């Protein structure tokens, strides 16, 4: 239970966590290169680790073996490289975050030790009587290009989606991730392309640049939307744990509605692939920015046992954001049946004298649905209980009124009664952790894996999906290995003599 004293609508800074609310831990990103357990775990070793995993052997390897059967020709010389060897180079490229195969090939050719040996490219495969050259043993760009054409994008995408889901299932079997996944983050991330997407006229619905379109499956957002949202390409909408583990995601055209995509993501991928593996008897919290403010999204989260930490107003430092926040803090909206209580524009309870306290009441009902309410009390102004889902905002006059259960057309304002408000200390802590830990996830996509760094040469949606699925496979594998090594080190330390353990 958390109590916030609000003199003059300013909540008390001291935080007291309820047993129902998940409390953020350290939130260290397990796949980060800075983790001591991952010291020396190079890109080549990561690639080899994936290739040797049971998940790869059971999910991807049979697909590549079938591809070898399809390319075999009776009486013809056997290919120099198997399909698995060719795919391993592309996997190594993704692990390294290289934007082109040429760069990955140069890295392999220049590495006569670890990478070349671990991936099996340290022996020349040239024909007899040929002079051995630096690149001998490493597949050429043309060879890898033919491999990509043989397997096709659809089959390759299906393989990596299946691998990613297999690894996610293994990861979610760990109680550690189950607990981390009680604190979720939702965000959209731009994947830009060098190619040109269709530009749709909003009035007529027609494409105004037909002759210049080179990426018909991409989307376009004008520069007026801001640097982070505008351009040509796709949007990666993802739900991650507080530790930056990708749990559910969709890649959609850049101009698709983030709110609607998030709702689909919750109903499909998250509900079927993630929720069954989580701790169903515990409440979760999801934080997102105001771009995801939609009543239908809030309702979907509640049905999944998740309380949303999503506000109407931006917490940004821009003058217009600050002015909007102040304007909403200054508002006073009456509440039907409670003459001594109001809310401000953020839906925060305020009593007439300004010294009342508010208490969070959060939990799950017997069906696992989140039940959310805020209670207020004041010696002078009396008490109040606001249950989220029971109230709507009316106009003329502007006040809060209870829903009429006989009128199905009335829709509740689910933020009313949700104690994770704009000025709430706990909500701010979740938001701060979201910013820090999502930046770890985002930063890895930018600097380590190069997925969203600058523009990519993606012409089709499946290309963007393949790169994303491969990247998330790597994240899961590295995180699982880090956790295994940490547990192993802790066990060794526990068994060591006191002098050595110290």
Residues 122-141 pLDDT 10s: 776 665 545 345 466 789 99
Q: Which of 198, 278, 195, 204 is nearest to 239 (CA)?
A: 278
From CA 374, how far away is CA 386, in angstroms rounded? Answer: 5
Is 313 within a domain? Answer: no
Q: What is the structure's pLDDT at 54?
A: 98
Closest by alpha carbon to 430, among 284, 293, 300? 284
Q: Report CA-CA distances (Å) from 306 to 146, 261, 365.
A: 47, 18, 12
Mean pLDDT over each residue of the chain, to the nearest integer: 91
Q: Are 250 and 225 in a shared domain?
A: yes
Q: Looking at the domain assignment, is residue 440 inside a domain?
A: yes
Q: Are residues 282 and 174 located together in one domain of the fold? A: yes
pLDDT digits (tens, 9 = 90+) for 335-359: 999 999 999 999 999 999 999 999 9
Domain boundary among 151, 169, 201: 151
Q: How confident is the model at residue 371 (pLDDT cuts 50, 70, 90)?
A: very high
Q: What is the mean pLDDT of residues 85-90?
A: 97
199, 208 Cβ separation under 8 angstroms: yes
Q: Within this chain, do residues 162 and 236 fall inside the same structural domain, yes or no? A: yes
Judged against a pLDDT cut of 80, whether residue 6 lies above it is answered with no
Q: Is residue 80 part of a domain?
A: yes
- Given a contact cutoff of 8 angstroms between Cβ atoms, the answer to whether 351 and 378 are in contact is yes
- Same domain membership, residue 243 and residue 142: no
Q: Residue 274: which of 186, 388, 406 has the closest Cα?
A: 186
Give the pLDDT band (50/70/90) at residue 1. very low
pLDDT band with cut points at 50, 70 and 90 for residue 13: very low
Per-residue pLDDT reduced to its tens digit, 16-67 = 777 789 998 877 899 999 999 999 999 999 999 999 999 999 999 999 999 9
- pTM value? 0.91
Q: Are residues 467 and 449 in the same domain?
A: yes
Are residues 252 and 138 both part of a single domain? no
Residue 194 lies in a domain: yes
Mean pLDDT of 262-284: 94
- What's the pLDDT tens digit per position in 229-272? 899 999 999 999 999 999 999 999 999 999 999 999 999 999 99
Residue 3 has a pLDDT of 40
| Beta-strand pair 349-351/284-287 | unpaired
Examine the fold and report which residue of 151, 171, 206 is the final residue of a domain before the chain moves on.
151
**Cα distance between residue 223 and residue 213, in whole Å:** 18
Claim to verify: residue 60 and residue 116 sit in the same structural domain: yes
For the chain, give the percent of residues with pLDDT over 90.
76
CA angle, residues 37, 43, 47, in degrees to nearest 5: 100
For the chain, how many structural domains are there in total? 2
Which residue among 133, 151, 169 closes a domain?
151
Residue 372, pLDDT score: 96
pLDDT reading at 2 higher than 50? no
Lowest mean pLDDT among 5-19, 43-57, 72-86: 5-19
What is the share, in percent, of the chain residues with pLDDT greater than 70?
92
Q: What is the pLDDT of residue 145?
A: 96
Question: Residue range 450-463: average pLDDT?
Answer: 94
In a domain, 477, yes or no: yes
Domain match, 133 and 197 both:
no
Q: Domain check: are 114 and 170 in the same one?
A: no
- Which residue, 421, 285, 425, is CA-closest to 344? 421
Structural domain span for residue 227: 158-292+433-490
Give the pLDDT confidence of 385-428 residue by residue, as tens digits: 999 999 999 998 999 999 998 999 999 999 999 999 999 999 99
**Distance of alpha carbon 372 from its chain centroid, rounded?**
25
Shared domain for 443 and 461, answered yes or no, is: yes
Predicted confidence band of residue 9 (pLDDT cuts 50, 70, 90): very low
Under 8 Å between Cβ of 239 and 247: yes
Residue 414 lies in a domain: no
In a domain, 268, yes or no: yes
344 in a structural domain? no
User: Tokens 């701010």 identify what position?
Assistant: 428
Q: What backbone phi and psi angles, to 5 degrees, belong to 408?
A: -70, -15
Are residues 224 and 99 part of one domain?
no
Q: What average pLDDT does range 71-94 have in this prediction?
A: 91
Residue 455 forms beta bridges with which residues? 192
pLDDT of residue 81: 92
Same domain, 172 and 73: no
């Amino acid at each position: 239970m958390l109590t916030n004293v609000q003199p003059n609508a300013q909540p008390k800074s001291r935080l007291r966590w309820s047993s129902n609310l998940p409390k953020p831990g350290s939130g260290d990103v397990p796949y980060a290169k800075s983790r001591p357990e991952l010291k020396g775990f190079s890109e080549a070793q990561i690639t080899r680790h994936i290739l040797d995993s049971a998940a790869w052997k059971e999910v991807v390897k049979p697909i590549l073996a079938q591809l070898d059967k399809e390319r075999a020709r009776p009486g013809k010389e056997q290919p120099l490289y198997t399909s698995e060897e060719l795919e391993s180079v592309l996997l190594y490229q993704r692990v390294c975050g290289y934007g082109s195969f040429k760069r990955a090939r140069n890295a392999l050719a220049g590495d006569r030790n670890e990478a070349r040996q671990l991936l099996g490219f340290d022996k020349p495969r040239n024909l007899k009587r040929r002079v051995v050259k630096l690149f001998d043993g490493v597949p050429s760009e043309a060879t890898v290009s033919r491999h990509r054409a043989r397997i096709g994008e659809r089959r390759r995408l299906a393989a990596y989606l299946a691998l990613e889901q297999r690894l996610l299932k293994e990861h979610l079997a760990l109680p550690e991730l189950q607990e981390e996944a009680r604190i979720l983050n939702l965000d959209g991330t731009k994947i830009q392309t060098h190619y040109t997407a269709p530009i749709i006229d909003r009035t007529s619905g027609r494409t105004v640049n037909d002759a210049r379109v080179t990426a018909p499956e991409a989307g376009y957002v004008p520069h007026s939307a801001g640097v982070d949202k505008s351009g040509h390409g796709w949007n990666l909408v993802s739900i991650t744990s507080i530790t930056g583990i990708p749990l559910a995601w969709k890649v959609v055209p850049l101009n698709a509605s983030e709110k609607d995509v998030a709702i689909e993501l919750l109903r499909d991928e998250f509900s079927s692939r993630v929720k069954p593996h989580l701790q169903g008897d515990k409440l979760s919290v999801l934080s997102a920015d105001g771009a995801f403010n939609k009543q239908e999204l809030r309702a979907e989260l509640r049905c999944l046992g998740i309380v949303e930490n999503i506000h109407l107003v931006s917490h940004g430092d821009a003058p217009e954001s600050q002015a909007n926040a102040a304007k909403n803090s200054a508002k006073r909206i009456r509440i039907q049946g409670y003459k001594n209580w109001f809310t401000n524009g953020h839906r925060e309870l305020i009593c007439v004298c300004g010294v009342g306290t508010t208490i969070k009441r959060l939990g799950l009902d017997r069906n696992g649905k989140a039940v959310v309410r805020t209670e207020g009390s004041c010696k002078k102004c009396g008490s109040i209980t606001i249950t989220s889902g029971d109230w709507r905002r009316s106009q003329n006059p502007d006040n809060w009124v209870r829903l009429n259960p006989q009128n199905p057309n009335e829709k509740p304002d689910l933020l009313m009664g949700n104690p994770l408000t704009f000025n709430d200390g706990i909500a701010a802590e979740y938001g701060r952790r979201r910013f820090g830990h999502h930046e770890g996830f985002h930063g890895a996509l930018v600097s380590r894996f190069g997925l969203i760094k600058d523009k990519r040469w993606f012409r089709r949606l499946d290309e963007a999906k393949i790169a994303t699925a491969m990247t998330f496979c790597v994240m899961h594998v590295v995180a699982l290995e880090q956790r295994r090594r940490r547990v192993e080190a802790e066990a060794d330390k526990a068994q060591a003599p006191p002098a050595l353990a110290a």
